Chains A and B, each alone.
Chain A
């Protein structure tokens, strides 16, 4: 019946790149003869819709079975002949279709609208734009084309809101406890909220807060990077506020979140404006991996429940909100797709036809039982920690959402405090990476908390979704259709589904370790290192302090200043420098260029000849002793590979002069000379922060080098502009802020150390002449 009814039909589908959409496309291609599909796909970035069809849909493993059964040519013929991608964007008028696209759409017998912003952290206005205005525009486009295809709209059971009792398969207006929604007003309000929040974000106290936050995160990398970061923080803040606004508005009207809320409005809006366009609404509950087709456990992307399950398996989540005897309404994706096809195959309904695809009414699974299955699963197949030890899953006690959130908040606050404290310590390298680890853990907790808040609301929904219409539809199918389009929720064996199908899928998709590895996997670092030491790279640029040597401008000065002094004067200088240290450090943190400019004044009056002579001695006695042999070897490796090597440093030229043979070139500031003495003023702006990036760009341009093919080594966030300017940044012995950034961005982190055995020198004092 379904097969005959749909044979040769032309069907338009939105949202085909999504989880449900992909399953739907696969099902239609597999079961319906001569089907003619038009997929409305939004071009994304540089990818055209046809490219997305190829990459995002057909390459998905959902099509593996079909491809195997038909053979490569048969599959190619089917997908090329019976399917076409149309460039479309449901947030635009006429869905962004060109004339050809509009013509194609007008020829369709059925339109299945499955596109939605399902993400839980969607800002209110965007959710409204996609979930509500999307279908509205679709209807308007059809009306403009003057066609009346069968419109099948995918909605959600949760449009019923946080109610208790039965939610019937009826248009919302006919449901009990219906709260009338004015979708036009709500849309306008959402747009206005956006502009209020945008304005609010630009208030000076807020901007100042964002800037402080940016500085805390990055240190002192220069104005433009701080500005970019500040703007990024502001945008994130606006988004968070919009998400919050959506959640609040939804809650105030009795919906679990903005998704359900906007979907509910969409149902009403479409009914209101559809005129005579025949409309069917399919409301699935929570869609999870497939029961049987295209293969058992097929899933696309990470759904809502998976992160929670994994966090439970990993032991991060010890508790879960919800009530053990409550029902979790889960429905496998293939059942939903089949139901949609069955609905689409029906005659065009006169008045809106509503059907719910849910398990709660006819084959419920209780939260407590689900938890037991998950517990049992991870008891039998535990996730392993990094030491290959199994993690024991904890037993859920269902203490209520409040306590779970408190637990998590406390853990998060602890991590945040630890992170903040560590940021203040002068630690580097491996120790600093601890902060990066902490941050990762905190972000994980953050996510878990988001999921709890959100998912908790769904779990706490105590509504039972009526499926009478669905079952009636099922009763009317013949055996052949039942075999091809199974959507009877009663067939699901929950233990089998959770234990044998869903959890194994989640574990695979989550790429967690469940079998001990014999050898540690080839580390990320060694892979990155290989990329860096590739002959096709062009330039390797190095910072000096803490990248090549464990020393700084202050110690160089200390050495040179005391080299020829009698001992009581040395002590005087030393004491003075120590007393000045806090203020110098503070200045250095604020702006390194200012610091250097100030500090180098100390060289005023120093005799040029003597300084040059003593610098060589300092190099031998002090700098080389504090050098990192691995870093020096790295410079030489780059040279051997034919890369150009460059040292850019804020240290003075006479200090780094002895390093000249190591590099192709050295860019270092020099001091002005008056007579035979240094004046204490620099002859140019030192290459620090943004200037360093600018100097590097100039250098690359002059020498015809591609920075995208270049490598930069540095140790601090003040070098961020330089690190970001190149294709391959390397954080060397990073301080905590850079460590966190490097981890987040996947940069190579090197820990270069002085070789053990080097003579210790605690104070930067010149060896006295004999």
Chain B
């Protein structure tokens, strides 16, 4: 694998747009747009170039396991023969896009299993900590943990998906001082040690959220996955200002106090999402630095995409595996590990930005955490834009209060019938009545969450939990509260309207529509992602 050519990768950049600035790349689902931004009042925020990866991942992992952070003995000291060991790992939603083989989870789990084997531990379970996400298929599990691990554990049924609706498989450990119940997978709770394997793609991932959310269920999640918490998390990516984070930490404390022993392993990857060379390399470069070859490739790709059907476009994009490099591995006590991880995440993601603008534009790509090997339905489009991208800030949002977000995405009225059955009904029944997160949570959340059919599909098929579309909408709550208008460029009009947004054919039209709220010469920030960046707005 080729490495970053630069010895010193450049940090993120805020580019002021002038007349010489070339058209800017906007992701547009399974496609791209090149847009000219108004000169003199626009700026483009670019992510940092990929940091160098660790030279020897295997050694780094070994080192982390044996030199843990915080108040924790090394892993080998925690493993004893006859003990019950549960290895939980992040599910299909991480990283995005999925990682080229070998996946970090595989590397780490193999290392942990080797240590366990040396210690003579027999009773080992591997659980995909997917909370209320869909179950992973066999091939997805194989990709995450590797064939060797899968084939060793699958026949005895010792590798499986977490089931938050298994009446015999979940326990409530206790309640936080705030009255939040703490619920966790029973096997994990009864284990002498939980090893949690994280991929910390963004700053929200990891810490107590791993166990308190990943191995939990509706009983506990409803205490922080709700409109109130989300409106008060400004942003949920910024630990110091996130109610979601605080609630998870309170639940984590209850876990810790109950005597549940957790050995946390967190890892970070760099921004090498599209590769230094290869067919998509231009996507992580700045437009004026595209080489001739990259320009040609991009043109060719655009032409090809125009000719492809939606299905084949989806298939080819979903077939992309990113050549990330591992930038750090931390292991040990949860909070100490997470502090160090967060620093490493910020090192790659943070970009200093000064002040807010009237408009924030973003090009939404084909993938979000909930449509890996699936369809990005309209609710997920909203969630990716207003939930994830909008919240990628520390300090202040990139757009001022009362400003406008313009995002580009085809937003087709399409759903995956196996993965997102409750989304279909949510879109048809709930959003057609209200787009207010608070109203829908009052009126509909419980009936979706406790619906027998959705429960059945979540447990036996590959469906997201009945309540999941609500959470996606709550994810947007802060943005909906903050913004005057949301405009989607190039989307399916009916789908866009159903969500209470406005639909524009071109970016120019979108600026026209936005003028209702922000006048005719607004200031504009363009969030140039992926690769991921987090704006540190002062």
B375 near A757: Cβ-Cβ < 8 Å: yes
B421 near A658: Cβ-Cβ < 8 Å: no
> A158 CA to B383 CA in the complex, in Å?
80
Name the residue of chain A whose CB is nearest to the CB of B451: A636
**Contact of A352 with B by CB under 8 A:** no
**Contact of A526 with B by CB under 8 A:** no
Distance in Å: Cβ of A384 to nearest Cβ of chain B: 28
> A662 CA to B457 CA in the complex, in Å?
10
Complex interface residues of chain B between 417 and 441 (CB less than 8 A to chain A): 417-418, 421, 424-425, 428-429
> A758 CA to B428 CA in the complex, in Å?
17
Name the residue of chain A whose CB is nearest to the CB of B417: A758
**Contact of B461 with A by CB under 8 A:** yes
Distance in Å: Cβ of B325 to nearest Cβ of chain A: 28
**Chain A residues whose CB sits within 8 angstroms of the CB of B354 once the complex forms:** none
B417 near A627: Cβ-Cβ < 8 Å: yes
**Chain B residues whose CB sits within 8 angstroms of the CB of A636 once the complex forms:** 425, 451, 453
**Contact of B452 with A by CB under 8 A:** yes
**Residue-wise interface mask of A (634-661) relative to B, using a CB-CB cutoff of 8 A (1 in contact, 0 not):** 0010000000000000000000001001
**Contact of B138 with A by CB under 8 A:** yes
Complex interface residues of chain A between 747 and 764 (CB less than 8 A to chain B): 754-760
A756 contact from B138, B412, B418, B455, Cβ within 8 A = B412
**Chain B residues whose CB sits within 8 angstroms of the CB of A658 once the complex forms:** 456, 460-461
Distance in Å: Cβ of A537 to nearest Cβ of chain B: 20
B417 near A619: Cβ-Cβ < 8 Å: no
> A7 CA to B455 CA in the complex, in Å?
83
**Contact of A359 with B by CB under 8 A:** no
**Chain B residues whose CB sits within 8 angstroms of the CB of A630 once the complex forms:** 428
> A770 CA to B414 CA in the complex, in Å?
29
Distance in Å: Cβ of A627 to nearest Cβ of chain B: 6
**Contact of A620 with B by CB under 8 A:** yes
A620 near B462: Cβ-Cβ < 8 Å: yes
B415 near A755: Cβ-Cβ < 8 Å: yes
Distance in Å: Cβ of A226 to nearest Cβ of chain B: 37
> A737 CA to B460 CA in the complex, in Å?
38
Known interface pairs A620-B461, A620-B462, A625-B417. Does A757 touch B425 (Cβ–Cβ under 8 Å)? no
A757 near B456: Cβ-Cβ < 8 Å: no
**Residue-wise interface mask of B (445-459) relative to A, using a CB-CB cutoff of 8 A (1 in contact, 0 not):** 000000111011100
A629 contact from B139, B311, B425, Cβ within 8 A = B425
**Contact of A695 with B by CB under 8 A:** no
**Contact of A584 with B by CB under 8 A:** no
Complex interface residues of chain B between 126 and 144 (CB less than 8 A to chain A): 138-139, 142
A633 contact from B142, B377, B428, B460, Cβ within 8 A = B428
**Contact of B416 with A by CB under 8 A:** yes
**Contact of B413 with A by CB under 8 A:** yes
**Chain B residues whose CB sits within 8 angstroms of the CB of A473 once the complex forms:** none
> A759 CA to B419 CA in the complex, in Å?
11
Known interface pairs A629-B425, A633-B425. Does A757 touch B460 (Cβ–Cβ under 8 Å)? no
> A627 CA to B416 CA in the complex, in Å?
11
B461 near A661: Cβ-Cβ < 8 Å: no
Known interface pairs A661-B453, A756-B412, A770-B139. Does A629 touch B461 (Cβ–Cβ under 8 Å)? no
> A202 CA to B212 CA in the complex, in Å?
81
B424 near A629: Cβ-Cβ < 8 Å: yes
**Chain B residues whose CB sits within 8 angstroms of the CB of A633 once the complex forms:** 424-425, 428-429
B138 near A754: Cβ-Cβ < 8 Å: no
**Chain B residues whose CB sits within 8 angstroms of the CB of A619 once the complex forms:** 461
A770 near B453: Cβ-Cβ < 8 Å: no
A662 near B453: Cβ-Cβ < 8 Å: yes
**Chain B residues whose CB sits within 8 angstroms of the CB of A759 once the complex forms:** 311, 416
Size bracket of the B interface? 20 to 34
> A111 CA to B113 CA in the complex, in Å?
109
A624 near B414: Cβ-Cβ < 8 Å: no
**Contact of A632 with B by CB under 8 A:** yes
**Chain A residues whose CB sits within 8 angstroms of the CB of B139 once the complex forms:** 770
B418 contact from A625, A632, A770, Cβ within 8 A = A625
Distance in Å: Cβ of B374 to nearest Cβ of chain A: 9
Size bracket of the A interface? 20 to 34
Name the residue of chain B whose CB is nearest to the CB of A626: B417
**Chain B residues whose CB sits within 8 angstroms of the CB of A629 once the complex forms:** 415, 417, 421, 424-425, 428
B375 near A624: Cβ-Cβ < 8 Å: no
**Contact of A616 with B by CB under 8 A:** yes
**Chain B residues whose CB sits within 8 angstroms of the CB of A624 once the complex forms:** 417-418, 421, 457, 461
**Chain A residues whose CB sits within 8 angstroms of the CB of B418 once the complex forms:** 620-621, 624-625, 758
Interface centre among A624, A625, A770 (most CB of B within 10 A): A624
> A662 CA to B460 CA in the complex, in Å?
13
B425 near A760: Cβ-Cβ < 8 Å: no
> A770 CA to B429 CA in the complex, in Å?
39
Complex interface residues of chain B between 377 and 392 (CB less than 8 A to chain A): 377
B460 near A770: Cβ-Cβ < 8 Å: no
**Chain A residues whose CB sits within 8 angstroms of the CB of B425 once the complex forms:** 629, 633, 636
Complex interface residues of chain B between 448 and 507 (CB less than 8 A to chain A): 451-453, 455-457, 460-462
Complex interface residues of chain B between 60 and 78 (CB less than 8 A to chain A): none
**Chain A residues whose CB sits within 8 angstroms of the CB of B462 once the complex forms:** 620
A770 contact from B138, B413, B455, Cβ within 8 A = B138
A616 near B460: Cβ-Cβ < 8 Å: yes
A756 near B453: Cβ-Cβ < 8 Å: no
A755 near B461: Cβ-Cβ < 8 Å: no
> A662 CA to B461 CA in the complex, in Å?
14
**Chain B residues whose CB sits within 8 angstroms of the CB of A758 once the complex forms:** 415-418
Name the residue of chain A whose CB is nearest to the CB of B425: A633
Complex interface residues of chain A between 289 and 330 (CB less than 8 A to chain B): none
> A351 CA to B261 CA in the complex, in Å?
121
A760 near B461: Cβ-Cβ < 8 Å: no
Interface centre among B138, B418, B456, B457 (most CB of A within 10 A): B418
> A758 CA to B418 CA in the complex, in Å?
8
> A760 CA to B377 CA in the complex, in Å?
17
Distance in Å: Cβ of B46 to nearest Cβ of chain A: 32
A632 near B421: Cβ-Cβ < 8 Å: yes
> A633 CA to B462 CA in the complex, in Å?
18
B417 near A755: Cβ-Cβ < 8 Å: yes
> A662 CA to B456 CA in the complex, in Å?
9
**Residue-wise interface mask of B (272-302) relative to A, using a CB-CB cutoff of 8 A (1 in contact, 0 not):** 0000000000000000000000000000000
**Chain A residues whose CB sits within 8 angstroms of the CB of B413 once the complex forms:** 756
A757 contact from B377, B429, B451, B452, Cβ within 8 A = B377
Name the residue of chain A whose CB is nearest to the CB of B375: A757
A755 near B414: Cβ-Cβ < 8 Å: yes
> A619 CA to B452 CA in the complex, in Å?
17
**Chain A residues whose CB sits within 8 angstroms of the CB of B461 once the complex forms:** 619-620, 624, 658
**Chain B residues whose CB sits within 8 angstroms of the CB of A760 once the complex forms:** 311
Name the residue of chain A whose CB is nearest to the CB of B142: A770
B453 near A754: Cβ-Cβ < 8 Å: no
**Residue-wise interface mask of A (716-760) relative to B, using a CB-CB cutoff of 8 A (1 in contact, 0 not):** 000000000000000000000000000000000000001111111
Name the residue of chain B whose CB is nearest to the CB of A619: B461
Query: 16 more A-B contacts (CB under 8 A) besides A629-B417, A629-B424, A756-B415?
Result: A616-B460, A624-B417, A624-B457, A629-B415, A629-B425, A661-B452, A661-B456, A755-B424, A757-B377, A757-B412, A757-B414, A757-B415, A757-B417, A758-B417, A759-B311, A770-B139
- List 10 A-B pairs, Cβ < 8 Å: A616-B460, A620-B462, A624-B461, A625-B418, A629-B417, A662-B453, A756-B413, A757-B412, A759-B311, A770-B138
Sorted nearest first, the 8 A-B pairs with minimum C-beta distance are A757-B414, A661-B456, A757-B375, A629-B424, A624-B418, A620-B461, A758-B417, A755-B415
